[in-house]
Amino acid sequence: MRVAIRYYTRGGNTKKLADAIAEAIGVEAKTTAEPLTEDVDILFLGSSVYAYGVDDEVKKFIKGIDVRVGKVVNFSTAAIIKSTYKQVAKLLAEKNIPFAKEEFACRGSFAVMHKGKPDADDCKAAADFAKKIMS
């Protein structure tokens, strides 16, 4: 099975989850600055919420996908809203890219909110989630 991990982060929260997922499934996590260059069966896509929406870099990455993707699995961090699921789903629908119903989302620290998040428990949960997706 061909699997890729891409993520965008400003403060490092989503990178923590991407690294945990990468270690759990043995696939290198790369930023969204690195486009997909070959077809994949599963793309784990990580993003976070900035001003109630996904960053323009994530939008640009999704618009630039020009390979076959079997399905995208969302993972995200957010300080206020639950996740980026709905926003990413809309972007993927515009490109007719399948989107998994399962997702992993947790709190991310921002200013004084949710200090230390995601923590070790969140990273373990993200790793377990990825293993479940792969099984």
Helix (H, G, I), strand (E, B) or coil at 70: strand
Q: How far apart are CA 9 and CA 100, in angstroms?
A: 21
CB 67 within 8 A of CB 56: no
Q: Averaged over 90-117, what is the pLDDT? A: 84
- pLDDT tens per residue across span 18-39: 999 999 999 999 999 999 999 9
Whether the model clears a pTM of 0.95, i.e. scores above it, the answer is no
Closest CA to 2 of 39, 44, 28: 39
Residue bearing tokens 């789903």: 89
Vertex 130: Cα angle to 120 and 126 (nearest 5): 20
pLDDT greater than 70 at residue 110: no
CB 124 within 8 A of CB 95: no
Q: Averaged over 38-46, what is the pLDDT? A: 98
Side-chain half-sphere CA neighbours of 111 within 13 A: 3
Q: Averaged over 90-118, what is the pLDDT? A: 84
Closest CA to 46 of 70, 23, 3, 15: 15
In this structure, the chain runs to a length of 135
